[in-house]
Amino acid sequence: MDQDYSCHLETPSVDDYLRLRRNAGLTPRSAAAAEAGLPNTVAGVVIKSGDLAVGMGRAVGDGLFYQLVDIAVEPAHQGKGLGKTIVSRLLEALRRIAPAEAYVSLIADGRANELYAQYGFEPTAPASIGMAQWLKP
């Protein structure tokens, strides 16, 4: 990450969260869902170019289990090391607050597994297979 960017250990605002998820191609979320979920962030990173948030990531968890979520970088700012900065800062924060036996997981979309592998993340299959479900009203 070069000097054109600044890294902040904070939770993204609702507006930045919604915009960055949308622009980075992640599943869109509603403002109500963001307002409910963002306060549960245990570690957050926001990358800014000037005053504009151009990247973010969060960790959520309960003290024993954590998940890295919402790692997103504006397309115009991708390929500049911002994703690496986000992941490394989140892991640094978790190492400060979590016990040594804490389990950290994530879901890697597309080729993002190549980024996460640089930080020691490994596929869990075939021993474990991630499963998910969307709750619908």
- Above pLDDT 70, what percent of the chain? 99
- Give the separation between CA 119 and CA 95, rounded to whole angstroms: 13
Report all structural domains of the chain as residue ranges with CATH numbers, in order of start.
6-117 (3.40.630.30)
Give Cα 9 to chain centroid, integer Å: 12
Task: Annotate 40-52 with b (16+ C-beta within 10 A) or e (fewer).
Answer: ebbbbbbbbbeee
40: which DSSP letter? G
Q: Which residues pair with 103 in a beta bridge?
A: 65
Residue range 77-136, pLDDT digits in tens: 999 999 999 999 999 999 999 998 999 999 998 888 999 999 999 999 889 998 888 888
Longest dimension (CA), the chain: 45
Residue type, 83: G
